[in-house]
Amino acid sequence: MEEQKVSGEINRVAVTGAAGFIGSHTCEGLLDAGKTVIGIDNLSTGKRINLKGIGEHDRFSFFQADICQEDAMATILGDFQPDAVIHLAALVSVPIAEHNPDENYRINVLGTKLVAQAALKAAARRMVFASSAAVYGNSDQLPLSEEGPTNPINQYGMAKLEAETLLLSYEKSHDMTSTCLRFFNVYGPRQDPTSPYSGVISIFADLCASGRPVTVYGDGRQSRDFIYIKDITRGIITSATNTELPGGIYNLCTGQGKTLLELLDALKGIDPDVPEPIFEGEREGDIKHSLGNPSVARRILGFEATTNFAEGIRELQN
Ligand code: UD2
């Protein structure tokens, strides 16, 4: 942790939500890129085991702290003096956010504000925020584009949208480049499969690995823009560390929809003996298709999701 802040390059990066699925992969990617990293997590849903590969790394330190504790955040970031802050900590469950709107607001909006204020106070030059395709709501104007309308249909999406607005207003009034990345359906190793509201890929991969049948809600022809974790972390890290890139709002997506039937085919390609799926009625409130437009991120960030779907699924079973 001795190396000094050098103006120009981004060397010191703080990551909130570091012990989560996306956070832990992000910390690994930053360390691989030679950065000095601190990870902050209150371990409410994040797990220490996610950091087991980097816990002893000499350029990594972990702090168990809550983003809503203003003093703790000010102290941690003030001591570390990050060049960039990547804010991934959140109340991540859409249904839990729906049932606890105050908690959702406290963590996903006010918590983001506190992190941004602490980042500014610590003179961070860049901030990256984990937003979500949930800000688009149930739009039929596919593919979903940053310039298109936002119309969140749940508390989670509303909070992410409000936090985006807040961060962009900070960018206007302060000397901190803010980048809001709208993640589509992220999948990859370490994603928790245990909740009924976990992402469908983690649930299916987990069931298939133990020879149990999956349940498909609906006819399996619904589609999502599934994006592999390594692509997501590349987008996050580039946005945080490339000082040439402007802030703003960007989709992180592949631009290619995959149906659940295609997902089942990919899983069958790995293990032809996976049991036949059980088909049930559609899940209430489900959307049929979700698809992002990747062209703005490609043009401005130079971002491209390169992981082939079948390869990404194969990585889960290793
Ligand atoms: C996301 C949210 C969800 C809700 C929704 C609103 C996550 C993980 N989910 O769902 O909470 O806010 O956006 O649009 O963030 N499926 C099955 N079998 C299973 C699990 C899922 O068939 O065991 C289906 C599910 O009914 C859906 C598709 O798989 O049609 C994708 O489900 P998902 O929860 O991974 O993602 P999504 O975008 O529907």
Mean pLDDT of the chain: 95
Cα separation, 17 vs 186, whole angstroms: 16
The neighbour count for residue 284, using CB atoms within 10 Å, is: 6
Q: Among 79, 83, 44, which Cα is nearest to 64's?
A: 44
Structure tokens at 87: 């804010």
pLDDT digits (tens, 9 = 90+) for 236-251: 999 999 999 999 999 9
pLDDT above 90 coverage of the chain, percent: 90
CA of 197 to the centre of ligand 1 (A): 7
- How much of the chain exceeds pLDDT 70, in percent? 97
- The residue with greater pLDDT, 197 or 227, is 227
What is the CA angle 91-97-103, rounded to 5?
Answer: 70
Domains and CATH numbers, the chain: 12-185+229-252 (3.40.50.720), 187-224+255-291+307-317 (3.90.25.10)
Reply yes or no on whether the pLDDT at 7 is more than 80.
no
Compute the distance between CA of residue 216 and CA of residue 283 in angstroms, rounded to an integer. Answer: 9
Report which of 247, 248, 254 is spatially closest to residue 232, judged by C-alpha positions: 254
> What is the CA(117)–ligand 1 centre distance, in A?
33
The tokens 């945080």 sit on which residue? Answer: 240
- pLDDT (0 to 100) of residue 1: 46
Substitution candidate for ligand 1 out of 139, 194, 217 with most atoms within 8 A of CB: 217
> What single letter denotes the amino acid at residue 189?
P
Contact of 291 with 142, CB cutoff 8 Å: yes
Question: What pLDDT band is residue 2 in, cutting at 50, 70 and 90?
Answer: very low
How many residues in total does the chain contain? Answer: 318
CA of 153 to the centre of ligand 1 (A): 14
**Which one, of 280, 98, 107, 252, lies nearest residue 183 by Cα?**
252
133 secondary structure, DSSP code: G
Give residues (CB < 6 A) around ligand 1.
94-95, 154, 185, 197-200, 203, 215-217, 222, 224, 260, 283, 286-287, 290
Choice among 105, 156, 228, 250 that is catalytic = 156
For a substitution probing ligand 1, which of 200, 262, 282, 284 has the most ligand atoms within 8 Å of its CB? 200
Beta bridge partners of 217: 280
- Euclidean distance between CA atoms 101 and 89, whole angstroms: 17
pLDDT interval class at 175 (50, 70, 90): confident
DSSP labels, 15-83: EETTTSHHHHHHHHHHHHTT-EEEEEE--SS--GGGGTTTTT-TTEEEEE--TT-HHHHHHHHHHH--S
Q: Specify whether the CB–CB gap between 80 and 12 falls below 8 A.
A: yes
Q: In this predicted model, which residue has the larger pLDDT, 174 or 268?
A: 268
Q: How far is the CA of 259 from the centre of ligand 1 (A)?
A: 12
Per-residue pLDDT reduced to its tens digit, 261-297: 999 999 999 999 999 999 999 998 888 999 999 999 9
2: exposed, middle or buried (C-beta count within 10 Å: 0-12, 13-18, 19+)?
exposed
Query: Please, are residues 174 and 113 in contact by the beta-carbon 8 Å criterion?
Result: no
Q: Strand runs (DSSP E) across 88-233, as ranges? A: 126-132, 177-183, 185-187, 215-217, 223-224, 226-228
Q: What mean pLDDT comes out for the span 74-102?
A: 96
Beta bridge partners of 72: none
Confidence of residue 140 (pLDDT cuts 50, 70, 90): confident
Taking a C-beta distance cutoff of 8 angstroms, is the pair 44, 100 a contact?
Answer: no
Do residues 114 and 124 make contact, with C-beta atoms less than 8 angstroms apart? no
As a whole number, mean pLDDT of residues 158-184 equals 94
Three-state SS annotation for 187-222: ECCCCCCCCCCCCHHHHHHHHHHCCCCCEEECCCCC
Residue 197 has pLDDT above 90, yes or no: no
pTM: 0.96
What is residue 174's predicted lDDT score, i.e. its pLDDT? 83
> In the annotation, is 156 catalytic?
yes
